[in-house]
Amino acid sequence: GEDVEQSLFLSVREGDSSVINCTYTDSSSTYLYWYKQEPGAGLQLLTYIFSNMDMKQDQRLTVLLNKKDKHLSLRIADTQTGDSAIYFCAESYGGSQGNLIFGKGTKLSVKP
Amino acid sequence: EAGVTQSPTHLIKTRGQQVTLRCSPISGHTSVYWYQQALGLGLQFLLWYDEGEERNRGNFPPRFSGRQFPNYSSELNVNALELEDSALYLCASSWVGEQYFGPGTRLTVT
pLDDT tens digits, B38-58: 987 889 999 999 999 999 999
For residue B96, the chain A residues in CB contact (below 8 A) are: 96-97
Q: What is the pLDDT of residues B49-99, one digit of tens each?
A: 999 999 999 999 999 999 999 999 999 999 999 999 999 999 999 987 789
Q: A95 and chain B: CB distance < 8 Å anywhere?
A: no
Q: Judge: B99–A45 Cβ closer than 8 Å, yes or no.
A: yes
pLDDT of residue A27: 72
Residue in chain A closest to B100 (alpha carbons) equals A45
Measured CA to CA, the distance from residue B25 to residue A103 in angstroms comes to 24
- Predicted confidence band of residue A39 (pLDDT cuts 50, 70, 90): confident
Is B97 close to A31, i.e. CB distance below 8 A? yes
Q: How far apart are CA A23 and CA A4, in angstroms?
A: 6
Q: Report the pLDDT value the prediction gives residue B63, as an integer from 0 to 100.
A: 98
Q: Under 8 Å CB-to-CB from B57, ≥6 apart: which residues?
A: B46, B47, B48
Please answer yes or no on whether A42 and B102 come within 8 Å at the CB atom: yes
Interval A91-106: pLDDT, tens: 987 666 678 999 999 9
As a whole number of angstroms, the distance between CA A89 and CA B14 comes to: 34
Higher pLDDT pick, A31 / A55: A55
Give B66→chain A minimum CA distance, Å.
16
Hey, is the C-beta of A5 within 8 angstroms of any chain B C-beta? no
Q: How close A17 gets to chain B, by Cα (Å)? A: 26
Mean pLDDT throughout A4-33? Answer: 91
Q: What is the pLDDT of residues A42-87, one digit of tens each?
A: 899 999 998 889 999 999 999 999 999 999 999 999 999 999 999 9
Q: Is A8 on the interface with B (CB under 8 A)?
A: no
Considering only CB atoms, A99 lies closest to which of B45, B97, B103, namely B45
Put simply, the answer to whether B101 touches A45 (Cβ < 8 Å) is: yes
Residue B5 contacts A, CB cutoff 8 Å? no
Cβ atoms of B82 and B109 within 8 Å: the answer is yes
What is the model's pLDDT at position A99? 83
Quote the CA–CA distance of A105 and A90 in Å, as a whole number: 9
Percent of chain B with pLDDT over 70: 99
